[in-house]
Amino acid sequence: MKISKFNLIKDEESVKASALVSFEDCNQPDKEVFIKTSRAYEEYFDVNPHSFLVGCLLPAIHFGEKRIAMDSKVCPFLKEGLETAMHILADWTKRQYHPLKIEAPAMSEIMPIKTPGAGMFMSGGMDSLAALRLNRLHYSSSHPGYVKDSFFLHGFDIGGVVERGMKYPVFDRAMEAISKITNDAELSLIPVYTNIRHLCDERELWLNSFFGSVLAAIAHSFTRRMDLVFISSSYDIPNLHPCGSHPLLDPEYSSLDLRIRHRDYQLSRIEKIKIVSQWDVAFQNFRVCLANVPDRLNCGKCEKCVRTMTELTALGLLDKTRAFAENEISSEHISEFDITIRVRPPFYRPLIPLLRQQGRDDLASAIEKQIK
């Protein structure tokens, strides 16, 4: 793979960093990949070769490319991290993925940071909301780890899968809801658009290996604004497994001008929900749905919605939030999904005794039936 023709394009509303990706060892077509944000942040946004190297690494490995070649300089600290990440992925895939060679000149200095600070990714879900709440509880506003900026991404779950459409109105509606939360927490919500995921839309690649590197790619585009970025955990320590975002992988996407930290994996999903439930603005406006339907923030029907509604029922909290239109869930909702796939049982198993305490033996039995 060659990454070339780095470019920065501005129009009235946005600024876009782009590069041309050319495959060498497979029949994938050349593609322009981009990262774009609002002109309001152009002073802190740039064409950073680190973004495209980190973002394109997994598709290159997946398609069997033998190298990534760039003329642009790369931080040797990042290059060492990517070597480690590639060997982790090789082990996870039982050598299906082979480390490739990174051919790029070494950087001898780092870019100046205009306003050093911390940022995070904000999906509107329980993981990121718990991370933000804990940041506000644990850090004073004068501390370098106090998060000042958050990113909301188009091209991730919204607009990430080509055949499902770009769904810009869904993105705008989600931004509106999440901004109520970030405004309350007094941090900026930065919209970012990218098509890096479109290099390979295969679901297993995305979930098992890819999505954390796309988060890191976005972060590297803003190193003039921040030198620390938090990525919220998806799983807790007892249930860690090969995953696109992982405490072994995410920090290896750091450079000497950007530290990336995978956080809160000591907390269970239930513990995170309890934290969010004590922050009313977040608890009324959270977004967990991956269906991205046009008329509702959370559809109440997809597996992620059903799982979250079940968790809230187990805690006696479902009727306390307006984020779902429904205040009730039945065993039939759970039976519609296979809750044994993609490491879902760790989310459901702890709910069984909590549901029985709430008098919802029907839901507890429906979970037990599937898991057994």
pLDDT in tens, 338-371: 999 989 999 999 999 999 999 999 999 999 999 9
∠ CA 208-86-210, rounded to 5°: 30
- The CATH number given to whatever domain includes residue 230 is 3.40.50
Give the model confidence (pLDDT) of 119-160 as tens digits: 999 999 999 999 999 999 999 999 999 999 999 999 999 999
167 part of a folded domain? yes
- Position 111 confidence tier, pLDDT thresholds 50, 70, 90: low
Q: Could you tell me if 305 and 227 lie in one domain?
A: no
284 part of a folded domain? no
Q: Given this model, what pLDDT does residue 115 score?
A: 65
108 part of a folded domain? no
Mean of pLDDT over the chain: 96
* 108 has a pLDDT exceeding 90: no
State which residues form the domain around 232: 118-263
Domain boundary among 43, 73, 103: 103
Q: Could you tell me if 146 and 173 lie in one domain?
A: yes
Helix 126-138, helix 168-185: angle, nearest 10: 20
Q: Given this model, what pLDDT does residue 342 score?
A: 82
- Under a CB-based contact definition with an 8 Å cutoff, are residues 256 and 94 in contact? no
281 part of a folded domain? no
Q: Given this model, what pLDDT does residue 200 score?
A: 95
Q: Could you tell me if 30 and 89 lie in one domain?
A: yes
Q: Could you tell me if 94 and 211 lie in one domain?
A: no
Q: What are phi and psi of 68, to 5 degrees?
A: -120, 120
The mean pLDDT value for 165-187 works out to 95
Q: Could you tell me if 188 and 214 lie in one domain?
A: yes
* CA proximity to 112, closest of 224, 255, 228: 224
Q: Could you tell me if 70 and 123 lie in one domain?
A: no
Q: Could you tell me if 83 and 209 lie in one domain?
A: no
93 part of a folded domain? yes
Q: Please count the other Cβ atoms lying within 10 Å of the Cβ belonging to residue 44.
A: 18
* 303 has a pLDDT exceeding 80: yes
Q: Could you tell me if 127 and 259 lie in one domain?
A: yes
Q: Could you tell me if 33 and 165 lie in one domain?
A: no
Give the model confidence (pLDDT) of 52-102 as tens digits: 999 999 999 999 999 999 999 999 999 999 999 999 999 999 999 999 999
* 317 has a pLDDT exceeding 90: yes
Q: Given this model, what pLDDT does residue 294 score?
A: 85
Domain boundary among 103, 128, 153: 103
349 part of a folded domain? yes
- Under a CB-based contact definition with an 8 Å cutoff, are residues 162 and 198 in contact? yes
| Chain-centroid distance, C-alpha 64 | 25
Q: Given this model, what pLDDT does residue 114 score?
A: 59
Contacts of 326 (CB under 8 A, 6+ apart): 300, 309, 318
Domain boundary among 103, 136, 155: 103
Q: Could you tell me if 192 and 327 lie in one domain?
A: no
Q: Given this model, what pLDDT does residue 295 score?
A: 85
* pTM across the whole model: 0.96
Q: Could you tell me if 58 and 14 lie in one domain?
A: yes
347 part of a folded domain? yes
Can you tell me which residue has the tokens 């999903």?
269
278 part of a folded domain? no
Number of domains in the chain: 3
- Position 112 confidence tier, pLDDT thresholds 50, 70, 90: low
Q: Could you tell me if 136 and 236 lie in one domain?
A: yes
